[in-house]
Amino acid sequence: MIARRPLAVAALSLALVAGTSACSTGTPIDNIVEGLVQQGVDQLVGGIDEQIRGLVDEVLGGVELTADGTVPASFPTEVPLTGEVLGGGAGPQGSGWVVRTRLDGGLAFADAAAALEAAGFTGSGVSADAASGYGAFTGTAFRVDLSVATDADGVVTATYVVTPR
């Protein structure tokens, strides 16, 4: 017990120094308590995040989501995308994909539809105006439902919903 006392004093001293240097408001004890509470909150939130991720993965059974400017790894390369990829999702075992892209204004839908047609997809139910458009495009292996919309800020996005045939 006596040998542990110097270690406890050193740890308390280190905590006091860290507590006073981390924040300039409040007493050293307030800062220590605040730091410990924040650590507890961070650990709790981190645990909840991991539990939610695990639950989502378990419930959705292998769904892949991206929000970092890339398409899901299993996205079919024969489906051409136009614009800057924002992110997407993939169903389990190649059951389907969704990808969102940001497009330049102007002929955004026409350009996206033309890219699909150039890759061998045939459009049906196509309807478009200057700000938006929709169409179903069928290829040999996939169907692509393309919708393009312009929001109130003038940002044009395309949503590609791809399913196997």
- pLDDT of the chain, 165 residues: tens digit per residue: 445 454 444 444 444 444 444 444 555 555 555 555 555 555 544 554 555 555 555 555 567 777 888 999 999 999 999 999 999 988 888 889 999 999 987 679 999 999 999 999 999 999 998 888 999 999 999 999 999 999 888 899 999 999 999
Nearest to 157 by CA among 100, 113, 75: 100
pLDDT of residue 121: 98
* Residue-level pLDDT at 22: 46
Task: Give the pLDDT score at 27.
Answer: 59
CA-atom Rg of the chain in angstroms: 27
Q: How far is CA 18 from CA 12, 14, 152, in A?
A: 10, 6, 48
pLDDT of residue 30: 57
CA distance 134 to 112: 10
Q: Are strands 133-138 and 122-128 parallel, antiparallel or unpaired?
A: antiparallel
pTM above 0.75, yes or no: no
Q: Measured between alpha carbons, how far is residue 59 from residues 13, 42, 63, 143 in Å? A: 48, 25, 9, 26
Q: What are the strands of the beta sheet with 64-66, ordered from one edge?
A: 64-66, 84-90, 97-103, 156-164, 142-150, 133-138, 122-128
